Amino acid sequence: MKFIGPLTKPLLTFTSGILLLTPSLGHGFELWGPKWKNGEADIYINLNNPNGTNVDWDKHMRRAIDAWNNTSTELHITAKSGDYHPCAGYPGSGIPEDGNRNSTGFSKEYCGTAIDEDTIAVTSSLWDEDLNLTESDITFNNNHYAWSQYNGKPIASTRDFYRIAAHELGHFIGLDHEDNTLTPVLMHTYDETAADLTQDDINGARSIYPSPALAAAPKMQLNIEEPAPGQIASGVSNIRGWAIAKREISHTEIFLDNKPIGLIPHGSTRNDVANVHSVYPSAGSSGFSMIYNWGLLNPGNHTIKVIAHDKIGNTVQKSVNFTTTSVSNPYINNSNKVRINGTAEVSGNNTITLNDVNADGGNYRMVIEWNVGTQQWAIKTIQAK
């Protein structure tokens, strides 16, 4: 849950809850805007010992900091020792300003207000007009929860400090909650299943603090692989390709002859794209694909256009000219309605001509060739007889 306040402390707070939800289909990491200038920030750690436990909380906080530092060469969070309060200078806290130091702590209240039982931790942040973070503080709820350190499945009665600390540090560096995924992620609002950073979380950090190679790369790239330029399309086959971006892609549109067809599913696995464009955070899940019946188009020349949109409004598009060929009925629902009556001729190494094909009552001459893009035999031409 977000709270956006006036231009005084707190400017933005993230509240982490405990209700376990089932993730739904969606895209990846979410960003909320501000980030640390040059990827550099200090954070003061002097965590007291809640509930009489005997755990080195500072050590696990430092471990969570190291996990985020390891996501990008351009992110540098420095852990420092110091007895500063997360609510220093916040209205209602009664705690004097400490020079906008970033700090952490266990507390039974949040800046003068009791922390409710639905709140595990709170991250509050300030930033300047250039969207550079100037302060970020983390408060862990010591009023309703027992804290411990463990791996594996979350325990309802006890919070695992490391995964909560790592989650809050995700907000600290500029990540928002991410609830629309098929698999658990650390930055989910409620689901604590992920015990450590997932690839989606890592991709988010790399998007905020890109490597020099990513910073120099185009904002977005897109390629249509099928139909290929000049390809002759027939029957039912794929429209497919890939799109990559520095920020997460929100949706991908498709147009045929400048008429919108709708959205094309995006996010399928493309290890080949990741191998070539490894600097892009989500290159490994950059594929888009859908099935289309080319018989629905009139035989002849056509143009397909795909436009990909990222989550901050950037777009990239590409168009391909191709040709369709078909029999009179765009979908023959019975294989017995297709017969080869005449002879077949082989020319070259990869072309077969069927001189007399009866398809749903019509007679045709068909030429079949090997298609490199689809890796299968495909109809090149259909001529009515």
| Cβ within 8 Å of residue 253, ≥6 positions away | 260, 262, 263, 264, 306, 307, 308, 309
User: pLDDT-based confidence at 379, cuts 50/70/90?
Assistant: confident
Q: Are strands 362-371 and 376-384 parallel, antiparallel or unpaired?
A: antiparallel
Cα separation, 365 vs 370, whole angstroms: 17
Q: Tell me: the pLDDT tens digits for 311-363? A: 889 999 999 999 999 888 888 889 999 999 888 889 877 899 999 999 988 99
CB atoms within 10 A of CB 90: 20
Q: Spell out the domains of the chain, with CATH numbers in brackets.
A: 2-209 (3.40.390.10), 216-326 (2.60.40.10), 334-385 (no CATH)
Take residue 271 and report the two structure tokens written for it. Answer: 């290890």
For CA atoms 202, 207, 211, 214, give the dihedral sign: positive
Q: What pairs with residue 358 in β-bridges?
A: 339, 363
Q: What is the largest CA-CA distance in the chain?
A: 94
Q: What is the mean pLDDT of residues 190-196?
A: 87
- pLDDT of the residue at 69: 96
CB atoms within 10 A of CB 179: 16
Asked whether the beta carbons of 67 and 85 are under 8 A apart, the reply is no
Cα separation, 47 vs 41, whole angstroms: 18
- pLDDT of the residue at 301: 97
For CA atoms 333, 335, 337, 343, give the dihedral sign: positive
- pLDDT of the residue at 18: 33
DSSP 190: S
User: pLDDT-based confidence at 51, cuts 50/70/90?
Assistant: low
pLDDT, greater one: 223 or 93? 223
- pLDDT of the residue at 257: 97
**Closest to 347 (Cα-Cα) out of 358, 339, 355:** 355
Cα separation, 358 vs 340, whole angstroms: 6
Q: What pairs with residue 351 in β-bridges?
A: 347, 369
| Cβ within 8 Å of residue 199, ≥6 positions away | 284
Q: Provide the 3-class DSSP secondary structure of residue 203.
A: helix
Q: Tell me: the pLDDT tens digits for 130-187? A: 889 999 999 998 887 888 888 888 887 788 999 999 999 999 999 988 887 777 888 9
Take residue 46 and report the two structure tokens written for it. Answer: 């002097």
| Cβ within 8 Å of residue 76, ≥6 positions away | 39, 40, 41, 69
